[in-house]
Homo-oligomer: A and B are copies of this chain.
Amino acid sequence: MDSREKILEVARDIFQKKGKSGTRMQEIADAAGVNKALLHYYFKNKDGLFKEVFVDLIRKMLLPLKQQMFQKNLPLEDRIQNFVDGYINSLKENPLLLTFILGELSMNNMPFVPPPEIGEGIIQLGVELKEDEEFKHIDPFQLATTIIGSCVFPFIARPMLIGLGLEKSTTFEEFLEERKKILPQIILSGIKIK
């Protein structure tokens, strides 16, 4: 069993749950079944361990975004449908991921340099909107923010939504499934001309 990998694995979980400053090195060591000094042996200090975990998680978060952003040779309708579907699915597998990253990003103002493909994908979206007579000429960043935000928001705001009365008639799970169906409809009618 690789200790280094084990440490990273549990550190990922704990950091996500409790945030950087809420997490204790001892706690990670215990959970990984190793001595605390070993964390320092491999990662020098808390910052080092955190940074390694953090870039890992950023990558993990961006991967599905990247995958769903780029599907050339498909009509926009299908691409949006696929995006919403695929992205919500991947968020379901890591419900804490987004809140954690966005929270840490806003506290420590860490540098955030995503791979350029995503930004390019958004630009590309704008080009296609301009080319197709069927769609309005909307700023692609506005559109992307709307689409991504609509997918992501339920996960970030889950406790709030539940407090607001969601889950009184449906489960969160059902709500998400319904969302995968309805969101592409709303967005598509929103950007189509008439």
Q: Chain A: interface residue count, which band?
A: 35 or more
Q: Given A22-B21, A164-B118, A190-B190, do A182 and B96 touch, yes or no (CB 8 Å)?
A: no
| CA–CA, A189 and B163, complex, Å | 29
CB distance from A174 to the nearest CB of B (A): 10
Contacts of A143 in B (CB 8 A): 186
Asked if A55 is an interface residue, CB under 8 A from chain B, the answer is no
State whether B160 touches A154 (Cβ < 8 A).
Answer: no
| CA–CA, A194 and B148, complex, Å | 24
CB distance from A5 to the nearest CB of B (A): 26
Q: How many copies does the complex hold?
A: 2
Question: Which of B21, B22, B150 has a CB less than 8 Å from the CB of A145?
Answer: B150
| CA–CA, A164 and B153, complex, Å | 18
State whether B112 touches A106 (Cβ < 8 A).
Answer: no
Contacts of A148 in B (CB 8 A): 153, 157
Asked if A158 is an interface residue, CB under 8 A from chain B, the answer is yes
Q: List 9 A-B contacts (CB under 8 A).
A: A96-B106, A103-B103, A112-B160, A141-B165, A142-B183, A143-B186, A145-B179, A146-B186, A149-B154
